Structure formats: C-alpha cells, structure tokens
Amino acid sequence: MELKIDQKIDQDFEQKKQALTDKLLAYVLSDGVDRPSFRQLAIAAETSEPTLRHYFKDRTGLIIHLLEQINDRSEPMRDILRQPQDNLDDAVKGYFRQMAALTRTDSYVKVHAFGIREAMADEEIQKFYLQKYLASGIDSVAERLVRSKGGVKSFDEARHAAILIVSASLLRVVHQEVLKGKVHKPLDEDIYFERVGEWLLNGLRPTSDE
C-alpha cells in the first residue's frame, strides 16, 4: 500500500514538473525574452518562487533542466545529421543546406540563442552547454563525416572538422540573433553557408599524394 502511495506521489511530482517545464520553455523561447530573472520565470509559469525551487532548486538548475529537455527533443535532428552520405561533398554541403533551412525557423534560432546567452553568464550552465548540449551536435556531425563514403579517416580528425562546421552555424546565430546582426549588419545566409561549406571541403578533400 505504501509503495503505491509513493508511486502516486512520484507520478504527481513528475507531471507537475513537466507542466511547469512546458510553460517555461514556451516563455524562454518567446520573442523579447533575454535571461529572465527567477521571479520572472515564476510569473511566466504561473506559480511562486518557492514552488520553482521545490522542483528545480534554483535558477541555474531550472535553466539546465530546460536545456536538457531541449537536448532530448533535438535527438531526431541529430539522428538525421549523423546519417552517412554518398560522398564527402554531400556530407558537408548537405549539412549546410540543412542549416540554411533550419536557421529560417524561429524555433531553431531561439533555442540556440537561449543556450548561448545563458551559457555565457553562468559557469554551471556553460559546462552543461559545452559538455552535453554542444558536444552531442558536434559528435553527430563527426559520425557523419566518418561514415560517409570517402569520409574522414579517424573520429578524432572528424571531430575537429565537426567543431569547425558546427561553429559556422553557431556563429551565424550569434551574429544574426544574439548580437542583432539581422538589424545592424544583415548577412546573406545562403552565400555564407555555400562559401563556408566549400572552404571546409577544400581542407577535408584528400590531396593528390594521399
């Protein structure tokens, strides 16, 4: 009997936590929201600060939880990114074509702008963003480079290339969104991704003596 009661309590806790999470995700990814205070987060979740502390401990714990949720929900996209291609050109240029399409969607841009802003202001969030959130995307691209025909030979080399490839996409988010480049200094994203893709390919293609 006590076991059933404990299970019911745990279930209620998780359901309420998930309901708060959904409200908070919608809020932090909405227009005009930039590193809201713990109080603002409580108001957005239609609850009190003590209640948020009960479920998430503090602001840092709450933001990391939201990033974990985003990371989990992004797994289908990472699965697409890690798929092998018929050649190295398609592996690299195909990635940038996907990024060019994704960066036109508000959700992708807002997710990364949210993560970057929060990571730059809090060391614990920074550690999570780097070790889990960013690393998972980099490793997916590295796997794609290794598994594609004519791809990179070692995973270590592929991961270094993947860091360059992913950083090109993240810099676009920083330039256009975080630093408001789309207002102050707009970027032609199609040409940007096309050129960066070609430059990276030139470095990855085998030389004649290899």
For the stretch 29-77, pLDDT in tens is 998 898 999 999 999 999 999 999 999 999 999 999 999 999 998 899 8
Are the CB atoms for 141 and 165 separated by under 8 Å? Answer: yes
Task: Take residue 205 and report the two structure tokens written for it.
Answer: 């293609």
Higher pLDDT, residue 205 or 18: 18
For residue 3, pLDDT over 60 is answered with no
Assign 197 a pLDDT band (cuts: 50, 70, 90): confident
Digit-coded pLDDT (tens) for 138-179: 999 999 999 999 888 899 999 999 999 998 888 888 888 778
Tokens of 199: 């430059």
The phi and psi torsions of 186 (rounded to 5 degrees) equal -60, 150
The answer to whether 140 and 95 are in contact (CB under 8 A) is no
Q: What is the pLDDT of residue 7?
A: 62
- How far apart CA 71 and CA 83 sit, in angstroms, is 18
pLDDT of residue 18: 94
pTM: predicted TM-score of the whole model, two decimal places:
0.81
DSSP code, position 105: S
At 96-123, the pLDDT tens digits run 888 888 777 777 788 888 998 999 999 9
Distance CA 131, CA 117 (A): 16
Tell me which long-range contacts 62-68 makes (C-beta under 8 A, separation of at least 24).
62/24, 62/38, 63/118, 63/122, 63/125, 64/124, 64/125, 64/128, 65/21, 66/21, 66/24, 66/25, 66/28, 67/115, 67/118, 67/125, 67/128, 67/129, 67/132, 67/133, 68/128, 68/132
